[in-house]
Amino acid sequence: MHTLLKHTVLATMIGLSGPAMASMAYVSNEKDNTLSIIDTNTREVVDTIDVGQRPRGILLSKDHTKLYICASDDDTVQIMDLATRKIIDTLPSGEDPEQFALHPNNKHLYISNEDDAIVTVVDVSTKEVLAQIDVGVEPEGMAVSPDGKWAVNTSETTSMLHWINTETFEIEKNIVVGQRPRHVEFSKDSKVAWASAEIGGTVHIIDVDNLEQIHEMTFKVPGVNQDRVQPVGIELTSDGKYAFVALGPSNHVAVVDAKTYEVLDYLLVGARVWQLDLDKDEKHLYTTNGVSGDVSIIDIEDMKVVKSIKVGRYPWGVVIDPTS
């Protein structure tokens, strides 16, 4: 009885301690100017929060206490405190920020400014703009290698990956890839980078040591017109086994063997699948489906889509808080 009481009290305390305890997925709704918060245990939207205009790229601070939100039409990056779910600050971001990446030092935020063809580097603690780096036309995707050495920007019109040295803030190499590169994802060991080209319909795998392309992938979704196969978001499992590629308006996610680059399966999700994120123990993958306005959850062990959850209009980015 005593133990039961203790457990009940404990459970109540956990319950009361609120949002910070359960693992939450955050989804930016581009057209609704909101953020949907999904409880990953119950798989239900538990909260919807008003944020700046046209929220797109979102990411977590390295200590998982804050969420950074690109409010594209407000020309700013907002900072949300995860414990209180309140916007506590904004950062200078340059015009029209869409995607960004945080350096492992938890300080330097690399923001791509689509309209100005630059990458802005901001120190999040001092809010100081450290550098503005000229890149190709319409910069879009942004990634920083887990070892912190490289920042990579993709420019949509120039179809290039710009490799920025994070110490000097200078471009050291440009790699031409397929048309309209959208997103870059590094392997956890920083040895390879995967870049998606939306119009080209390709995914390029780059060897980071030599800064050279080692493989180029194409996709063929059965029953779907090739024009609609547009790779965007990429997610890699940390065991190096799988890569997942969101194929935009083909409404499918490609499951790729990350070693052989062979497509293992195409999974049907909602319309215009955009960005992806893995949950805490990498058992599930969450996808944002822009046109159908929902988030699909893929069970990685079974390689099956298990549920789709309605969120706001045009969900763009998704990140899952790994702490729980």
Partner 1 sequence: MKASQYWHCFVGIQTREWLRFWQQRTRFASALVRPLLWLVVFAAGFRAVLGISIIPPYETYITYETYIAPGLCGMIILFNSMQGALSMVYDRELGSMRVLLMSPLPRPFLLVTKLLAMGVVSVGQVYVFLLLALLVDVEPPAWGYLAVLPALILTSLMLGALGLLIATWIKQLENFAGVMNFVIFPMFFMSSALYPLWRMNEASPWLYWICQFNPFTHAVEAIRFSLYLEWNPMAYGITAGVTVVLALLATAGFRPQRTKILGSKPA
User: Using CB under 8 A as the criterion, which residues of the chain lie in contact with partner 1 when the complex forms?
Assistant: 222-224, 251, 268-271, 292, 294, 296-297, 304-308
The rounded distance, in Å, linking the Cα atoms of 204 and 3 is 56
Residues belonging to the chain? 324
The pair of structure tokens assigned to 102 is 């945080």
Sheet holding 212-218, edge to edge: 181-186, 192-197, 202-207, 212-218
Q: Name the residue nearer to partner 1 (CB basis): 130 or 271.
A: 271
Q: Name the residue nearer to partner 1 (CB basis): 131 or 224.
A: 224
Output the smallest distance, CB 178 to partner 1, in A. Answer: 24
Contact by Cβ (8 Å): 263, 256: yes
Q: Name the residue nearer to partner 1 (CB basis): 10 or 306.
A: 306
The rounded distance, in Å, linking the Cα atoms of 232 and 80 is 26
Report the sign of the C-alpha dihedral through residues 87, 90, 93, 95, in that order: positive
Contact by Cβ (8 Å): 169, 149: no
Name the amino acid, one letter, at 238.
S
Output the smallest distance, CB 263 to partner 1, in A. Answer: 15
Q: Say how far residue 260 (Cα) sits from the centre of its chain.
A: 24
Q: Name the residue nearer to partner 1 (CB basis): 275 or 292.
A: 292
Output the smallest distance, CB 289 to partner 1, in A. Answer: 9
Output the smallest distance, CB 268 to partner 1, in A. Answer: 5
Q: Name the residue nearer to partner 1 (CB basis): 94 or 270.
A: 270
Report the sign of the C-alpha dihedral through residues 132, 136, 139, 140, in that order: negative
Output the smallest distance, CB 292 to partner 1, in A. Answer: 7
Output the smallest distance, CB 224 to partner 1, in A. Answer: 6
Q: Name the residue nearer to partner 1 (CB basis): 199 or 268.
A: 268
Output the smallest distance, CB 305 to partner 1, in A. Answer: 5
Report the DSSP pairing between strands 160-165 and 170-176: antiparallel
Phi, psi of 147 (to 5 degrees): -80, 0
The rounded distance, in Å, linking the Cα atoms of 138 and 66 is 28
Q: Name the residue nearer to partner 1 (CB basis): 133 or 298.
A: 298
